[in-house]
Structure 1
Amino acid sequence: MQRVRKAIIPAAGLGTRFLPATKAMPKEMLPIVDKPTIQYIVEEAIESGIEDIIIVTGKGKRAIEDHFDNAYELEQTLLNKEKFDLLYKVQEPTKMVDIHYIRQKEPKGLGHAVWCARNFIGNEPFAVLLGDDIVKAETPCLKQLINENNRTHSSVIGVKRVPDNETNRYGIIDPIDQNGRSYQVRNFVEKPELGTAPSNLAIIGRYIFTPEIFMFLDKQEVGAGGEIQLTDAIQKLNQIQRVFAYEFEGKRYDVGEKLGFIETTIEFALEKEELRDDLLKFMAGKLDLN
């Protein structure tokens, strides 16, 4: 079986949860302290051994391409002023990996966004990483899934336990059998109504697929929310070949909604030596006022 070399990062969503900030700025470019969220995703892919990335964009997403491109005037200014630390940070995203782009011309859902990259992928296994989740782990989250794919020679879906009262926000797996962190799956259910979820193991934005997933995405069948759902295609793929779920290790940060984004920003800021003490003093002052 071929190894996983390519990854798709869907980034065509409208970012409505962050309006009006995302009216003119892609939500993927919103910074966690001083780095856009999409850079964390690209870094995870590279650390997992991915060689080629295609980002599926949409209207108003040009800033993503600019971020991973050279900025000659800015770089030259930083060089002339001998601000070498900043120059390195600016140049770093342009040297990471080969990044390609394709437009999703209509907002038809996650399944459609993945389908848009089918010609780039060809007939080989590939990864999908969603930008709403950042995962900190000793072994990168995607690498854990690739290791499981190497073991099973099958598609692998990253899952994490969520509170029972949040299962309606996610795709949920219905497990048959468990082997360590790996699960054989009976069904993949997209956003079940509260009280009907078969488990609290939620699909969390990391996938390894065999190319056969495109057999079902090609059909462009509309699912929940009037969109082409990736979970529906996974369920159908599972009927012809095994699809495993893997409960990955590491801490998951939900940056796809406001509170999670704020919490992530604070935690990441506290890890920066130049910000930690002042931020702690600020937070302590706010607590005293209450």
Structure 2
Amino acid sequence: MKGIILAGGTGSRLYPLTKMTNKHLLPVYDKPMIYYLIETLINAGIKNIMIVSGRGHAGHFLELLGSGVDFGVHFTYEIQEEAGGIAQALSLAEDFVDGDSVTVILGDNIFQDCIKEEVRNSKDCAKIFLKEVTNAHSFGIAELKNETVIGIEEKTKVPRSNFAVTGLYIYDSDVFDVIKSLKPSGRGELEITDVNNYYINKGMMEYGVLEGFWSDAGTLDRFIKSKYTGTTAHTYYRFTE
């Protein structure tokens, strides 16, 4: 199993904090945001990790993280030349994944749950991780029927459930062929929701429900929640152990 951290984007929703650096390098509690994503993958048993970032601050990631030796893992780096969507960023990892399955995590999502068992038991399909929320209209929402995901809708005014789709996914190696079949959305980007709906329509999507803390820290209000409240519940991974 390979791991991908998608840490691109302009960080416009966190401006001016992101004027000088990438949002995923901003401090949350006592460490850079990206450390939490690395911890999630390490705790899942994943040691081969690619970090996809934009051009502006790519060197900052390398300076901070290096080869991965300090974390007991191996880092590979890839550049997303321009904003083309989450699915387009994932497509850059095809050679790195090299026919393996892959766990993908968005760089501004912070998770308390350990997904080691889900990674260990992954199948030739896809899996999304859901979290029950009170403000469902702010997220992509999974519609469930008879314990099956039957569709995902993005930020609809009348959500069909309270289960938000978090930025954590497991895919088989076919995901890259799926991405190649996509057409850009109205935003001109390749959307990860379209990837997930493809697997749903093929009857190849599983899901898990997170029990612990989760935050999408990509906007100022959620970033502040993560920085000052949410991560106090996080079980920290100590790299020296």
Aligned equivalent of 1:55: 51
Structure 1 Cα separation of the partners of residues 187 and 145 of structure 2: 28
Q: Is the 8 A contact 1:32 1:264 kept in 2?
A: yes
- 1:173 alignment counterpart: 142
Structure 1 residues without counterparts, runs of 5 or longer: 71-91, 179-183, 272-290
1:74-153 pair list within 5 angstroms: 94-137=70-113, 140=114, 142-147=115-120, 149=122, 153=124
Q: Equivalent residue for 1:10?
A: 6
2:28 maps to 1:32: yes
Unpaired stretches in structure 2, ≥5 consecutive residues: 234-241
Offset at 1:55? 0.6
Match of 1:283? none
- The range that moved more, 221-230 or 12-21, is 221-230
Cα shift readout 1:214-243 (whole Å, capped 9, x = no counterpart): 222113411253321011011112223410
1:69 aligns with 2:66: yes
* Contact 1:39 1:93 survives alignment (8 Å): no
Taking structure 2 as the reference length, the TM-score comes to 0.87
Q: Give 3-state SS (helix, strand or coil) of 2:36's partner.
A: helix
CA contact (8 A) 2:213 2:230 kept: no
Counterpart position of 2:153:
189
Rg (Cα) greater in structure: 1
**Structure 1 residues 14-66: Cα deviation after superposition (integer angstroms, max 9, x where no partner):** 11111122122010000013310001110110111002100111112221111
Distance 1:93 1:38, change over 3 A: farther
More helix per residue: 1
**Distance (whole Å) between structure 1 residues aligned to residue 171 and residue 66 of structure 2:** 29
Find the aligned partners of 1:9 and 1:27 in 2 and give their Cα distance. Answer: 13
Q: Which has the higher contact order (CA 8 A, sep 6+)?
A: 2
SS at match of 2:197: helix
Look up the SS of the partner of 2:168 in the other structure: strand
Q: Secondary structure at the match of 1:226?
A: coil
After TM superposition, which residue ranges in structure 1, 4 or more long, deviate above 6 angstroms?
268-271
2:175 to 213, 225, 228: 213
RMSD of Structure 2 on Structure 1 (CA): 2.2
Partner of 1:159: 130
Q: Choose the corresponding residue for 1:226, options 184, 188, 199.
A: 188
TM-score normalised by the chain length of structure 1: 0.73
Alignment length (residue pairs): 232
Give the match's secondary structure for 1:22: coil
